[in-house]
């Protein structure tokens, strides 16, 4: 156990201070976050490894779709207007699946924010992940916080020039890899890589790599926290998503105040002293440059690194963890009422502890039941409902479609024998990566027969049509009905399309027109 005097005090000042707001167009003050260690930092490492792994490696995963479709597991095939995701294939007319996923993402973001605050921002947001990655490179080359601050303030020397050049060179390599990985989602990755390397890829590929390289380098390496503070709208929206039972990173001043670096001297003078030793460790590790002890702030992304930093200090002092913790506003207000005797006096640490030094039974501690409230159930129910609906639609969707367009001019033709002929454009859509034989059958329209234009097949009421995999087959069909079978100026009948293997079927109700004189 260490004494307060043995705790290293860090000369860390909140760049984005809640008490003194910087002008909007003020020059940026650099932030040199110190490396943290603890459970939340380990969790961030894990999330960073998973998310970066998914982004960089996904285009290289293979998935066997037979010889008639690409074998890339995840592919946005813009040329053929397809989206492949492992065993799922999405066509343009099925864009509602993408819309449904976007709705789920939005509702999921509301659910996460209302439950655990800006967890998305602190752990999985691409800006957070890539800034973390760039900081890993920066620390590896220039050292931790004090070394980087010293280097930044030092005059330009050969060593400083080498370190800075090395850092930015690696940043650019990461940025290029990021832009390059993105284009691999839109074409066969191995083939496109070879084309890019040999200079034979389409110009749009190089433009995309250049744009994403620039944005990644600028946002992740140079702007960092400014993207979250000035460019991202979510910090300004999140307040509407939070309530008194939402978990947020909180400095428990009911326990930490009054803070002092000389606790024994203050206690000897008969004055109350809290658990906070004012070491500034929480400020030093914050990538957003805030002091969490100033309360909730727009810049806070709830990455919880300040919790790790404070817990480490509490461990060294032999005190309970949780001076900075995830807490709800309702719990905070309850505990603050205990520490201030219902708001009648300043914070008094003796009111929150017993004579033996343990926390008072009057204090409220977090329990998972507190986040299980009607609001979260509504969000979860809506999210699940959309997901189940999409899944049901996906599992029951038809992979065969038939669409029919009646000839507009002329609407009908009277043949020499008095029979009436109508023309139709029939489109058969095979939405599977296998060739099919589709049987087109006419149902209804008594006595009528079909003839296939451009084919030697005799007229009849059914045709077997081969359709290539993942292709649209367009047919020109004439339907002829004898004059003595006509039943009015307008009749309806059905074009029925069936897979010869019996897997899928679809139908289209068409109209047969006849002259008015035949009524």
* pLDDT-derived band at 519, boundaries 50, 70, 90: very low
Per residue in 320-363, pLDDT tens?
A: 999 999 999 999 999 999 999 988 889 988 898 888 888 888 89
Which of 226, 241, 256 is the last residue before a domain boundary?
241
**Positive or negative CA dihedral for 128, 133, 134, 135?**
positive
In tens, the pLDDT along 472-504 reads: 999 999 999 998 888 888 899 999 999 988 778
Total Cβ atoms within 10 A of residue 233: 7
Assess whether 345 and 410 both reside in one domain: no
In a domain, 3, yes or no: no
CA 285 – CA 122 distance, rounded (Å): 13
* Domain end position, chosen among 186, 207, 241: 241
Tokens of 422: 């109508």
404 and 475 both lie in a single domain? yes
Q: Is 126 helix (H, G, I), strand (E, B) or coil?
A: helix
Look up the domain containing 509 and give its range: 400-513
Residue 102, domain member (yes or no): yes
For residue 163, name the pLDDT band (cuts at 50, 70, 90).
very high
More confident site: 169 or 4? 169
Going by C-alpha positions, the residue among 228, 226, 38, 28 that lies closest to residue 122 is: 228
Q: What is the count of structural domains for the chain?
A: 3
Give the span between the Cα atoms of 363 and 352, in whole angstroms: 7
Q: What is the mean pLDDT of residues 279-295?
A: 93
Confirm whether 374 is domain-assigned: no
Q: Are residues 208 and 280 in the same domain?
A: no
Most confidently modeled range among 21-35, 101-115, 162-176, 392-406? 162-176
Q: Kindly report the pTM of this predicted structure.
A: 0.84
Average pLDDT, the chain: 89
Residues 272 and 221 in one domain: no
Asked if the structure places residue 197 within a domain, the reply is yes
What is the domain-level CATH number for residue 499?
2.60.40.10
Is the pLDDT at 169 greater than 70? The verdict is yes
Confidence label for 517 from pLDDT (cuts 50, 70 and 90): low
pLDDT attached to residue 428: 94
197: which residues sit within 8 A by CB, 6+ positions away? none
Asked if residue 115 is part of any domain, the answer here is yes
Answer whether residue 119 is part of any domain: yes
Residue 386 lies inside a defined structural domain of this protein: no
Question: Residue 518 — very low, low, confident or very high, per pLDDT cuts 50/70/90?
Answer: very low
Same domain, 154 and 228: yes
The verdict on 151 and 295 lying in the same domain is no
417 and 503 in a common domain: yes
How many whole angstroms separate alpha carbon 376 and alpha carbon 384?
12
- Selected residue with higher pLDDT from 370 and 382: 382
Same domain membership, residue 84 and residue 228: yes
Whether residues 84 and 190 fall in one domain? yes
**Same domain flag for 205 and 347:** no
Tell me if 380 is assigned to some domain.
no
Which of 209, 241, 273 is the last residue before a domain boundary? 241
Distance, in Å, from the CA atom of 4 to the CA atom of 459, rounded to the nearest integer, reads 98
Say how far apart CA 222 and CA 391 lie, in whole Å: 42
Q: Do residues 90 and 225 both lie within one domain? A: yes
Tell whether 161 and 232 lie within a shared domain: yes
Q: How many CA atoms lie within 13 A of 198 on its CB side?
A: 8
Where residue 46 falls among pLDDT bands split at 50, 70, 90?
A: very high
Nearest to 475 by CA among 451, 496, 491: 451
- Mean pLDDT throughout 117-141? 94
Q: Are 139 and 151 in contact (CB under 8 A)?
A: no
Q: Could you give the CA distance from residue 2 to residue 9 in angstroms, rounded to a whole number?
A: 13
Rounded percentage of the chain residues whose pLDDT exceeds 70 = 95
């Amino acid at each position: 156990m260490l004494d307060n005097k043995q705790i290293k005090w860090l000369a860390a000042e909140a760049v984005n201070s809640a008490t003194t707001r910087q002008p909007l167009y003020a020059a940026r003050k650099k932030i040199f976050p110190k490396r943290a260690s603890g459970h939340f930092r380990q969790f961030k490492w894990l999330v960073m490894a998973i998310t970066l792994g998914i982004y960089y490696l996904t285009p290289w995963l293979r998935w066997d779709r037979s010889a008639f479709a690409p074998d890339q597991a995840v592919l946005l095939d813009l040329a053929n207007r397809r989206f492949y995701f492992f065993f799922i294939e999405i066509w343009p007319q099925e864009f509602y699946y993408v819309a449904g996923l976007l709705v789920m993402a939005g509702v999921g973001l509301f659910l996460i924010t209302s439950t655990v605050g800006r967890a998305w921002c602190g752990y999985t947001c691409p800006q957070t992940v890539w800034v973390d990655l760039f900081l890993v490179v920066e620390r590896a080359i220039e050292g931790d916080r004090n070394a980087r601050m010293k280097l930044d303030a030092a005059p330009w020397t050969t060593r400083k020039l080498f370190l800075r050049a090395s850092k930015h060179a690696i940043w650019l390599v990461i940025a290029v890899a990021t832009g390059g990985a993105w284009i691999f989602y839109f074409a066969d990755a191995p083939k496109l890589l070879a084309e890019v390397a040999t200079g034979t890829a389409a110009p749009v590929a190089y433009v995309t790599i250049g744009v994403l390289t620039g944005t990644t380098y600028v946002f992740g390496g140079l702007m960092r926290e400014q993207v979250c503070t000035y460019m991202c709208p979510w910090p300004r929206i999140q307040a509407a998503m939070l309530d008194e039972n939402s978990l947020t990173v909180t400095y428990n001043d009911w326990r930490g105040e009054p803070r002092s670096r000389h606790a024994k001297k203050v206690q000897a003078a008969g004055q109350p002293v809290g658990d906070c030793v004012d070491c500034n460790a929480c400020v030093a590790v914050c990538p957003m440059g805030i002091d969490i002890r100033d309360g909730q702030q727009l810049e806070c992304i709830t990455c919880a690194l300040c919790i790790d930093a404070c817990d480490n200090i509490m461990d060294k002092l032999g005190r309970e963890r949780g001076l900075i913790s995830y807490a709800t506003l309702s719990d905070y207000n309850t505990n603050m009422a205990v520490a201030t005797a219902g708001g009648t006096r300043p914070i008094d640490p003796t009111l929150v502890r017993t004579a033996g030094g343990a926390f008072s039974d009057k204090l409220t501690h977090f329990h998972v039941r507190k986040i299980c409230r009607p609001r979260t159930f509504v969000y979860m129910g809506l999210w699940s409902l959309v997901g189940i609906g999409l899944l049901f639609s996906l599992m029951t969707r038809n992979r065969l479609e038939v669409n029919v367009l009646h000839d507009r001019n002329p609407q009908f033709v009277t043949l020499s024998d008095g029979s009436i002929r109508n023309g139709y454009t029939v489109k058969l859509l095979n939405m599977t990566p296998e060739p099919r034989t589709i049987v087109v059958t006419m149902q209804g329209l008594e006595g009528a027969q079909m003839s296939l234009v451009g084919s030697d097949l005799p007229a009849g009421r059914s045709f077997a049509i081969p359709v290539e995999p993942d292709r649209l087959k367009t047919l020109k069909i004439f339907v002829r009905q004898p004059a003595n079978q006509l039943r009015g100026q307008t009749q309806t009948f059905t074009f029925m399309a069936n897979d010869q293997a019996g897997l899928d079927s679809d139908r289209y109700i068409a109209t047969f027109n006849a002259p008015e004189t035949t009524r």
